[in-house]
């Protein structure tokens, strides 16, 4: 029996293995390494040592196949060339290190690459390719104690629906049942969801490594879905909510549902001194809107590549939160602003806000990520700089 | 500033919303409901009240578009018809309730549907559609206490790599820091991975509901990735392992790495009486192979749609585990066999094994799932029947 079952299992395995797996042997003399974001056994996308990337897909009957993706991949779309056996391939110019969303255009239809994992971005599952950064490992799994990322379902009184939050608990959380921890609320960008920070962002490895090195305090990190529609809202059928249905409902979810649930479910330090919020892009805008209106609830604020494009009047912006610099500096322990040098509009506006606040006597931190665009490498670096500044003892 | 930022955020939101979102208004008079597996805002796939499903995709330049999927969708591929604006659509015959993998064939290339979430199956992210079963809610999120599904990274001495296991902890796990729990090891099928049981399978809701009803004992459920290649194995580059690299290495991972890690990390009852293993399809084969060779480690066994197609000799099979019926019945608290009536080969072989064991005086349970095939509805039902039988007090 075991032999026959073995043969059957092997058959299943061969079914499961994609055609790409067979390329491993055929082309093992090629230079380059399969991206870590490839599905198991897939050789392409292949990252060359100079960070050029070769993409390949089998599409014998297609007339036109292209690759297109995030800024760091270069200015696409890149036209693929049909080779023997209907295999289309292209090698792009050297990419910026980090994580890039991408997709294939097959006869004009944007579809995912069967050879890559998908990541929720652009409002749907989207292919991604991880390009290593030489000598940089702060977001890799290392031989240090690891925390957990927990999927936590809770009912929202605001939306009338069940929601899922992801909660990072630090490595010693279960081992120290008497210890209470500060909490960082950490939000994704538009078109992404609660999974973004722990998959694309690798926030768990970043925190594990910082905590192991003694550079960041052990903390909980709560990542929620940044979309919400009020229960019974017109045009929002009960089972669904659009990708962006307004920040005001989400603000209420955070204040009325999420924070109380987290504080009653986990061993938190529940005063404002031990509660931070940060977010990227849309999540940065949500962070400013929510924290500045609730400084009795939050003490540390992080805006990663936030959308700060409007005219700024420190006397009136955000309901006058900046109108009394002395009071603001006393209350807000950290206001972190930053963006990548490759996302000009975002970095200019973040710097401008930082400088305007400075002129007004309001303390903030401004950090520019060199060479990266409106993409996850900017935000991994932002978290790596931001997290160590949280919850330090008051001087 | 807030107005401008609002406008910018709204712009992002519109970008993020797929074209399908706009169908909501245009076609709201249509009968049917968007599948819960659709991405937010997507109207199609649309489930009609008789369980026919309408699929739709925009592909103006394609010459041929089809839908194909799991058995319960019906015998495809279903050819889509090109309508105005390059929208292709088809309505399939009534589907079997449950979760079905599916994909589009666009000019012959199998790709995912941009309108659906993806699920890891067939060795890669694959579109899925959830078809409701009338009056059945045992796998839905209900107003009961919810457990967590935790992503846990650990280092394997067998493979030399970091692995990720998913660990379900029952609702009261954190609140009862003195309580220890039994453990079920629960495996996915070929081409799937450690995410399968909690996404496609909804095992967390099944357990939450059973525990809330007092029908199952609170337990931990550990779901690992059923693939492993030994460290340094020829042809297995360090960073990669094929989708099925042999059960022997996986057996060693379970025995030497996973179980010790779980027992030292979580508050488990670590004797054999409180350890079960079950799996579906390939995972069922792995379960038999691992548990029957290690009856000092496991006391409860579940084989869901397992691959049991060979000739069976109870005297010699599985190293003679069945050769002494009295000893076996004394030691093994539960041997559960089952499959769906719609997967003829699997259900026949499971019944045949059950009957062969019975003739030999070996106790086992056989359960047939009516109307379902080699798909997740069969395995949700299997877990719902299996879990309540675990870890009951000895009579």
pLDDT one-digit tens code per residue, A35-69: 999 999 999 999 999 999 999 999 999 999 999 99
- Please tell me which residue of chain B has the smallest CA distance to A166: B150
CB B357, CB B364: distance < 8 Å = yes
Q: Which residues of B fall within a CB distance of 8 Å from A109?
A: 57-59, 61-62, 106, 111
- Please tell me which residue of chain B has the smallest CA distance to A121: B16
Do B62 and A240 make contact, defined as CB atoms within 8 angstroms?
A: no
- Please tell me which residue of chain A has the smallest CA distance to B10: A244
- Selected residue of A4, A13, A318, A321 to mutate for chain B interface (largest B Cβ count, 10 A): A13
Sheet holding A87-91, edge to edge: A33-34, A46-47, A53-58, A87-91, A81-82
Do B151 and A154 make contact, defined as CB atoms within 8 angstroms?
A: no
What mean pLDDT is predicted for residues A27-32?
A: 61
A208 to chain B nearest CA, in Å? 11
Coil/strand/helix, residue B331:
helix
- pLDDT tens-digit profile of A214-239? 999 999 999 999 999 999 875 444 33
According to DSSP, residue B254 is labeled: I
> pLDDT category, A395, cuts 50, 70, 90?
low
pLDDT of A330 above 90:
yes
Q: Most distant CA pair in chain A: distance in Å?
A: 80
Q: What is the pLDDT of residue A238?
A: 35
Do A13 and B190 make contact, defined as CB atoms within 8 angstroms?
A: yes
Do B266 and A174 make contact, defined as CB atoms within 8 angstroms?
A: yes
Q: Which residues of A fall within a CB distance of 8 Å from B282?
A: 9, 12-13
Q: What is the pLDDT of residue B86?
A: 94
What mean pLDDT is predicted for residues A90-119?
A: 96
**CATH fold group of domain B148-389:** Rossmann fold (3.40.50)
The closest CB to that of B118, out of A118, A190, A266, belongs to A118
Q: What is the pLDDT of residue A30?
A: 54
Do A108 and B62 make contact, defined as CB atoms within 8 angstroms?
A: yes
- What is the average pLDDT score of chain A? 90
Q: Which residues of A fall within a CB distance of 8 Å from B223?
A: none
A395 to chain B nearest CA, in Å? 34
The closest CB to that of A177, out of B34, B177, B307, belongs to B177
Q: Is the peptide bond before A218 cis (omega within 30 degrees of 0)?
A: no
ipTM of this model?
0.90
CB A46, CB A32: distance < 8 Å = yes
Do B309 and A281 make contact, defined as CB atoms within 8 angstroms?
A: no
> What is d(CA B375, CA B128) in angstroms, rounded to the nearest whole number?
12
Q: How big, in percent rounded to 5, are the helix, strand and coil portions of chain A? A: 30, 25, 45
pLDDT of A311 above 90:
no
Domain with CATH 2.60.40.10 in chain B: 31-131
**CATH fold group of domain A17-131:** Immunoglobulin-like (2.60.40)
**CATH fold group of domain B31-131:** Immunoglobulin-like (2.60.40)
- Please tell me which residue of chain A has the smallest CA distance to B39: A124
pLDDT of A361 above 80:
yes
Do B10 and A310 make contact, defined as CB atoms within 8 angstroms?
A: no
B147 to chain A nearest CA, in Å? 7
Q: How many residues does chain B have?
A: 395
Average pLDDT across each block of 10 residues of chain B; the chain has 395 residues. List them in order. 39 38 44 95 96 97 95 94 95 97 95 97 97 97 97 97 97 94 98 98 98 98 96 54 60 98 98 98 95 97 89 85 95 98 96 95 98 97 98 81
Instruction: Count how many pairs of residues, chain A against chain B, have C-beta atoms within 8 Å.
Output: 260
Q: Which residues of A fall within a CB distance of 8 Å from B60?
A: 108
Do A244 and B310 make contact, defined as CB atoms within 8 angstroms?
A: no
B232 to chain A nearest CA, in Å? 16
Q: Which residues of A fall within a CB distance of 8 Å from B285?
A: 5, 8-9
What mean pLDDT is predicted for residues A125-131?
A: 98
Beta-bridge mates of residue B391: none
The closest CB to that of A12, out of B16, B109, B244, belongs to B244
According to DSSP, residue A73 is labeled: G
The closest CB to that of A16, out of B108, B191, B313, belongs to B191
Six token digits for residue B65: 């578009």
Q: State the helix-helix crossing angle for A2-16 and B282-292, rounded to 10 degrees.
A: 140
Q: Which residues of A fall within a CB distance of 8 Å from B190?
A: 9, 12-13, 15-16
A192 to chain B nearest CA, in Å? 9
Secondary structure of A138-197 as H, E, C letters: CCCCCCCCCCEEEEEEEECCCCCCEEEEEEEECCCCCCCCCCCECEEEEECCCCCCCCHH
Domain with CATH 2.60.40.10 in chain A: 17-131
CB A171, CB A218: distance < 8 Å = yes
- Please tell me which residue of chain B has the smallest CA distance to A282: B9
Range name among A147-151, A222-226, A330-334, B29-33 with the lowest pLDDT average: B29-33
CB B105, CB B75: distance < 8 Å = no
Domain with CATH 3.40.50.1820 in chain A: 148-389
Do A12 and B108 make contact, defined as CB atoms within 8 angstroms?
A: no
Coil/strand/helix, residue A345:
helix
> What is d(CA A285, CA B7) in angstroms, rounded to the nearest whole number?
12
């Amino acid at each position: 029996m075991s032999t026959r079952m073995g043969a059957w299992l092997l058959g299943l395995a061969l079914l499961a293995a994609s055609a790409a797996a067979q390329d491993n042997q055929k082309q093992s003399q090629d230079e380059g390494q399969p991206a870590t974001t490839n599905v198991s056994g897939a050789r392409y996308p292949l990252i060359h040592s100079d960070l050029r990337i070769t993409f390949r897909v089998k599409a014998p009957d297609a007339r036109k196949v292209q690759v297109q993706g995030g800024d760091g991949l270069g200015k696409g779309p890149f036209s693929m060339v049909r080779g023997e056996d209907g295999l289309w391939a292209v090698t792009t110019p050297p990419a910026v290190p980090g994580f890039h969303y991408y997709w294939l255009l097959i006869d004009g239809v944007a579809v995912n690459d069967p050879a890559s994992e998908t990541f929720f971005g652009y409002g749907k599952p989207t292919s991604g390719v991880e390009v290593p950064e030489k000598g940089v490992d702060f977001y890799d799994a290392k031989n240090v104690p690891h925390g957990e990322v927990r999927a936590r379902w809770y009912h929202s009184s605001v939306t009338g629906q069940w929601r899922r939050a992801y909660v990072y608990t630090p490595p010693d959380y279960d081992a120290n049942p008497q210890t209470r921890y500060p909490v960082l609320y950490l939000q994704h960008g538009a078109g992404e969801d609660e999974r973004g920070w722990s998959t694309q962002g690798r926030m768990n490895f970043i925190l594990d490594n910082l905590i192991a090195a003694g550079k960041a305090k052990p903390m909980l990190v709560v990542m929620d879905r940044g979309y919400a529609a009020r229960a019974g809202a017109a045009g929002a059928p009960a089972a669904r909510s659009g990708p962006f249905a307004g920040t005001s409902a989400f603000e209420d979810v955070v204040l009325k549902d999420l924070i109380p649930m987290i504080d009653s479910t986990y061993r938190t330090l529940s005063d404002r001194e031990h509660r931070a919020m940060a977010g990227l892009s849309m999540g940065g805008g949500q962070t400013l809107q929510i924290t500045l209106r609730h400084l009795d609830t939050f003490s540390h604020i992080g805006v990663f590549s936030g959308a700060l494009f409007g005219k700024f009047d420190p006397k009136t912006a955000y309901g006058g939160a900046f109108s009394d610099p002395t009071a603001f500096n006393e209350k807000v322990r950290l206001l972190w602003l930053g963006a990548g040098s490759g996302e000009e509009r975002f970095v200019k506006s973040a710097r401008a806000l930082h400088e305007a606040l400075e002129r007004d006597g309001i303390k903030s931190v401004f950090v520019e990520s060199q060479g990266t665009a409106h993409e996850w490498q900017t935000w991994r670096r932002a978290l790596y700089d931001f997290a160590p500044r949280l919850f330090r003892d008051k001087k």
